[in-house]
Amino acid sequence: MAVQEGVVPEAAGTQEAHGGAVHRLKPNAIGLLGVVFMAVATAAPITAMTGNVPFMVSAGNGIGAPASYLVAMVVLAIFAVGFTSMAKHITSTGAFYGFISYGLGRTAGLASGLLATFAYVVFEPALIGIFSTFATGTLKDQTGLDVPWWAFAVLMLAVNATGTWFGVSVAEKLLVVLLATEVTILAAMAVSVALHGGGPHGFTFGPVNPVNAFKGTSAGLGLFFAFWSWVGF
C-alpha cells in the first residue's frame, strides 16, 4: 500500500524543542507481551460482563446476548485484517488521527481524533462510577461496612495517577496482574455454571445461535453493547 508523504503532520512526541532537540516516544519501552496484555486489559473483560451484559439480556436481545459477541468478534476480526495491514505502512503515533488522515484526509482525521479523545475522556468517569458502585455494594454485602462510593472513586483515581506517573512499564506490570485476576474470576464463574448444569433449562444452543443476536426486545441495543465491550480493540 502506497503511503503519501506530508498528509499527516508530525505525530505527538516528535515536535522539535527550542534548543533543536527532537522529543520522541521512548523506543522499546514495552515488549510484545506487554502490548498484548495492555490491549486485552483495555477491553476490560470483567467490566464488559458486569456492566454490559445485564443491559443486553434485560433490554437488548435477551438469550441472544452471547451470540452478539460472536457477531462482533467476526466483524472485528475482518476489520483487524485491514487494520494490521495499514499498521505495517503507517507508523504514526496519532492512532485514529494518523490512520484516518492517510485514508480520508486531515479534516476527517482531526474530527475522528477529537471525537475519540472526547469519548475516552467521558469513558473514564463511567468506569470510575461502575467500579465505585460495585465496590461499595460488595463491601457492604460481605462485611456490613458502609463506605461511601466516592472513597473508592478517589482510590481508583490514585491508582491510575500512580501508574501514569511512574511510566508505561509500571502500568504494564500492574495490568498483567489485574488482567490475570479478571480472567481467573470469569473462568471460575464459567466452570461453576458448567458444573451446575448450565441455566434453568440446562445447556442449549440458543444463546450461541447467531440468528438470536438479531432478535429480542432491542437487537440493536444488544449488538451495540457487544461491540462496546470490545472498546479497547
Beta bridge partners of 16: 22
Q: How confident is the model at residue 41 (pLDDT cuts 50, 70, 90)?
A: confident
User: What is the model's pLDDT at position 25?
Assistant: 62
| Domain membership flag for residue 134 | yes
Q: Which pLDDT score, from 0 to 100, does residue 168 have?
A: 78
Residue 182, in any domain of the structure: yes
For the residues 135-145, what does the mean pLDDT come to? 93
What range defines the domain where residue 56 resides? 47-198+206-228
pLDDT of 4 > 60? The answer is no
The domain total for the chain is: 1
Q: What confidence score (pLDDT) does residue 143 get?
A: 93
Q: Is 34 a member of any domain?
A: no
pLDDT of residue 136: 95
> Rounded to whole angstroms, what are the CA distances from 24 to 5, 44, 78, 80, 87?
19, 29, 32, 27, 19
pLDDT at position 2, please? 44
Residue 201, pLDDT score: 79
Q: How confident is the model at residue 6 (pLDDT cuts 50, 70, 90)?
A: very low
List helix spans (H) across the chain.
Answer: 32-42, 45-47, 53-59, 65-87, 96-104, 106-143, 149-165, 168-195, 219-228
pLDDT digits (tens, 9 = 90+) for 168-212: 777 788 888 888 898 999 999 999 988 988 877 788 888 899 999
| Inside any domain, residue 129 | yes
Q: What's the pLDDT at 82? A: 85
Q: Give the DSSP letter string of 161-185.
A: HHHHHT-HHHHHHHHHHHHHHHHHH
The answer to the question of residue 1 being in a domain is no
Query: Is the residue at 11 inside a domain?
Result: no
- Answer whether residue 10 is part of any domain: no
In a domain, 120, yes or no: yes
Q: Residues 105-134: pLDDT tens digits?
A: 889 988 988 888 888 888 888 889 989 999
